Amino acid sequence: MPINVETIGGSTMVQHYVETLGQKDHLILDPDSDVFTLSGRTKIHVTWELSIKDVGGGKSEFTNRVRSYAIDEFLTFLERQGIPFEQFRAQRQPASIETPFFAASIDALRN
């Protein structure tokens, strides 16, 4: 089982990837991820989806989509701290957005 460890918005996440779709041109990983914060440990669900399609002319379109979902354990974690989910979501959004230069950095690897 592959794992990924990263820090997002000051919280360390350990994602234990479980492949739910594995095709040559489409991959979906669905881990429940451990989140370590200053307030304690909890879990969220993250779906990571990667796909590639031929768009002709020797070019391909690469899609990298990451979605996270609050599971019951996470909602309870927020509730114990008196944090409304909508407030958390609004404050978390800027930290969750991947760099806008991600595609450009991949393209640079080709050259």
Total domains in the chain come to 1
In this prediction, residue 71 carries a pLDDT of 93
Asked if residue 111 belongs to a domain, the reply is: no
Asked if residue 53 belongs to a domain, the reply is: yes
Asked if residue 40 belongs to a domain, the reply is: yes
Between 18 and 89, the higher pLDDT residue: 18
Asked if residue 46 belongs to a domain, the reply is: yes
What angle is formed at CA 104 by the lines to CA 102 and CA 108, rounded to 5 degrees? 120
Could you write out the DSSP letters of every residue in 34-56? Answer: EEEETTEEEEEEEEEEEEEEEEE
Asked if residue 33 belongs to a domain, the reply is: yes
User: H helices of the chain, where?
Assistant: 72-80, 85-96, 102-110
In this prediction, residue 24 carries a pLDDT of 93
In this prediction, residue 59 carries a pLDDT of 92
Asked if residue 16 belongs to a domain, the reply is: yes
In this prediction, residue 108 carries a pLDDT of 66
**What φ, ψ does residue 46 adopt, rounded to 5°?**
-125, 130
pTM: 0.71
Asked if residue 47 belongs to a domain, the reply is: yes
**CATH number for the domain that contains residue 94:** 3.10.450
Asked if residue 91 belongs to a domain, the reply is: yes
Tokens found for residue 59: 């070019």
Range of the domain at 15: 3-106
In this prediction, residue 68 carries a pLDDT of 86
In this prediction, residue 31 carries a pLDDT of 83
- Residue 35: alpha-carbon gap to chain centroid: 12
In this prediction, residue 22 carries a pLDDT of 94
Tokens found for residue 83: 């944090």
**What φ, ψ does residue 76 adopt, rounded to 5°?**
-65, -40
The predicted-structure confidence for 17-72, as pLDDT tens digits, reads as follows 899 999 999 999 998 899 999 999 999 998 989 999 999 999 999 998 888 899 99
In this prediction, residue 60 carries a pLDDT of 92
